[in-house]
Amino acid sequence: MSTQENRQAAYRWARPGDINAFFGLMLDNIAGLILMVALLSGFGFPVDFVVSAMIPGTALGVFIGDLAFFILAFWLAKRTGRDDVTAMPLGLDTPSTFGIILFILGPSYLQGVGMGLSEHDAAYRTWHIGIWCIVMSGVLKFALAPFTEIVRRVIPRAGLLGSLAAIALVLISFIPLMEIFRHPLPGMIALVIVLSALVGRIPLPGRTPGTLGALLVASIVFYTMCLIPGNHYEFPTAPTGISWFPTQWLEAWQFNWLADFDDALAYLPIALPFAIGTVVGGIDCTESAAAAGDEYDTRTVIGVEAFATLIAGFSGGVIQTTPYIGHPAYKAMGGRAAYTLGTALLIGSAGLVGYFGWINAYIPAATVYPILVFVGLEITAQSFLATPRRHYAAVALACLPALAFLALSFPNQMFGDAALRDAGIQLSTLQDSLLQTNLKTVGMLSSGFIITSLLWAWALAKIVDRKITVAALVMALAGGLTAFGVIHSPLPGNQLFVLFGPESWGNIVLDDANRGPVIEYVAGYFASAILLAIWSLNPKIRSPATDDDGAIAPQE
């Protein structure tokens, strides 16, 4: 076929492979929405409020993003004349689903209840904080889109991807295991099917998608167990109070959430690194698509995810969207563009029409959470594969602050229990001073751990590359951020503060009990920065280091 004839070939945008790709992408997003409801309900958040106010805008972001990538595939097919273009996949950002809920929405809701607000008022306040975080994430993505290459040059991948690996391995892959092994028979079956099909690439009979096969088989097992008396399996109860074609999310367009900016300000330093992470992920996804033969413009891809995130935020959504890593896998399945259109229509209609309430009620979480385990493992693997081998230790170091959060999550659940609160049992009432000290230390280490992970990995990667002065500057930056509670905050909800003086800018002034540890953290970072700066003057430190291929690494 001549070049002219090839350019005139009609784009075959719907192929049989789109069926497999659709179930993979769609169920991944369904799992994210179910996880969103489950995590929020774990904080006591009203489920009906989540479904009627938060889910529609969040689902609308997926609809807008996947529809845009569907159209973008036609544009690329027309520009290149190829008929086998695969659309970029897009969906809810899994790290953000965990991070925004566990570090922002959940703590802010408990804070509102602790302030004496009713559940309804605390839910609205939390919703407004979530809207602010997502809107500002969309704005940041738009701002970074033209400068994506600069971001990649300034911060090493060990820092950017290391913080994502921390979330992926410790949270995304671990926390779902709690639900999977709460119902171990269907959960383990689903997990084995997903990992065998998606990681081991072992085909299922009839070319059934691994995610769909896991859902069908494990659901049959789950409901069979419900028929057997004497175990903990129970048939799901029919959802009540479903709001068909809910309109509550439209209240976001009244912009009442603007008044809660002061409350949201303390949480923005937690939310914005997730936005930066999706920008880096978008860059990696674009490069991955190019390697598979579909060369999309990076700035356009980031712009699409920024627009989808911004629309989601303005519509009451609380989880950002992002391109997914698996473009080559969807292309290998034979997917073209129909799978993103199908995902856009199903996820968007589930949220906006309201039938997601039925999906959430009748799909057992244990049957879809293995998809999240796979996502976590995939992100972790990609974080190492995309990082130079000499920086592997930096990626591993980034996981340690996340372990602190995991270690603190269960004590936080205990002390957040209503019965303990009503009995007056709090951390401050514990008699064992060593236990108090350990929990306090773990709490400060886990506070803002996403940024901490990024900074630690960044510094270590620069030390490995013998850029000691840059590492010193990073440590000094960490000390400055600690001084205001962006990281290592000792206050509930990772709140910002000022160390000394009267209250100003709406920030909290630390009391004496909290001020001392913060000062020591700050001093430790700045002392480390000075040590590295002095160390960099030693000529022996400037001796050449070799990279993985034996070449000379960049020098200071």
Q: Is the pLDDT of residue 453 over 70?
A: yes
Same structural domain, 418 and 321: no
Least Cα distance to 106 among 59, 34, 44 occurs for 44
Q: Is the pLDDT of residue 418 over 60?
A: no
Q: Give Cβ neighbours of residue 384 (< 8 Å, ≥ 6 apart).
A: 165, 392, 395
In a domain, 426, yes or no: yes
Instruction: Give the whole-angstrom CA distance, residue 330 versus residue 336.
Output: 8
Same structural domain, 44 and 116: yes
Same structural domain, 265 and 350: yes
Question: Residues 37-96: pLDDT tens digits?
Answer: 999 998 899 998 999 999 999 999 999 999 999 999 999 999 988 889 999 999 998 878
| Domain endpoint, select from 345, 366, 387 | 366
Same structural domain, 50 and 149: yes
Same structural domain, 106 and 25: yes
Average pLDDT over residues 413-438: 60
Of all residues in the chain, what percent carry a pLDDT higher than 70? 87
Q: What is the pLDDT of residue 1?
A: 43
In a domain, 538, yes or no: yes
| Domain endpoint, select from 366, 387, 414 | 366
Instruction: Give the whole-angstrom CA distance, residue 326 versus residue 381.
Output: 13
Q: What's at 12, amino acid-wise?
A: R
Q: What is the pLDDT of residue 22?
A: 92
Average pLDDT over residues 415-435: 58
Helix (DSSP H) and strand (DSSP E) numbers for the chain:
25, 4
According to DSSP, the residues that pair with 91 across neighbouring strands are 322
In a domain, 220, yes or no: no
Structure tokens at 413: 């659940």
Structure tokens at 326: 């698996």
Same structural domain, 403 and 523: yes
**Cβ atoms of residues 73 and 339 within 8 Å:** no
* pLDDT-wise least confident of 17-31, 248-262, 320-334, 457-471: 320-334
Q: What is the pLDDT of residue 16?
A: 86
| Domain endpoint, select from 366, 383, 403 | 366
In a domain, 222, yes or no: no
Q: What is the pLDDT of residue 417?
A: 54
Q: Is the pLDDT of residue 273 over 80?
A: no
In a domain, 377, yes or no: no
Q: What is the pLDDT of residue 550?
A: 40
- How many domains would you assign to the chain? 2
Question: Residues 371-396: pLDDT tens digits?
Answer: 888 888 887 887 888 788 999 999 99
Q: Is the pLDDT of residue 468 over 60?
A: yes
pLDDT bin (cut points 50, 70, 90) of residue 433 is: low
Same structural domain, 341 and 469: no
* pTM as predicted: 0.78
Same structural domain, 110 and 65: yes
Q: Is the pLDDT of residue 4 over 50?
A: no
Residue 117: helix, strand or coil by DSSP?
Answer: coil
Instruction: Give the whole-angstrom CA distance, residue 301 versus residue 281.
Output: 11
Q: State how beta strands 321-323 and 90-92 pair.
A: antiparallel
Same structural domain, 257 and 346: yes
pLDDT bin (cut points 50, 70, 90) of residue 501 is: low
Can you give the residue range of the structural domain that contains 319?
3-173+239-366
Q: What is the pLDDT of residue 293?
A: 84
| Mean of all residue pLDDT scores within the chain | 85
Label residue 388 exposed, middle or buried (CB < 10 Å: 0-12, 13-18, 19+): middle
In a domain, 376, yes or no: no
In a domain, 191, yes or no: no
Question: Residues 126-184: pLDDT tens digits?
Answer: 999 999 999 999 999 999 888 876 766 688 878 877 877 887 787 778 888 888 999 99
Same structural domain, 432 and 329: no
Question: Residues 394-407: pLDDT tens digits?
Answer: 999 998 988 888 88
In a domain, 434, yes or no: yes
Question: Residues 10-26: pLDDT tens digits?
Answer: 898 999 889 888 988 99
Same structural domain, 451 and 309: no
Question: Residues 195-214: pLDDT tens digits?
Answer: 998 888 898 888 788 888 99
* pLDDT-wise least confident of 122-126, 332-336, 531-535: 332-336
Q: What is the pLDDT of residue 526?
A: 97
Q: Is the pLDDT of residue 6 over 60?
A: no
Structure tokens at 504: 């100003």
Q: Which residue has the higher pLDDT, 550 or 11?
A: 11
Average pLDDT over residues 335-343: 95
Same structural domain, 133 and 248: yes
Instruction: Give the whole-angstrom CA distance, residue 120 versus residue 126.
Output: 10
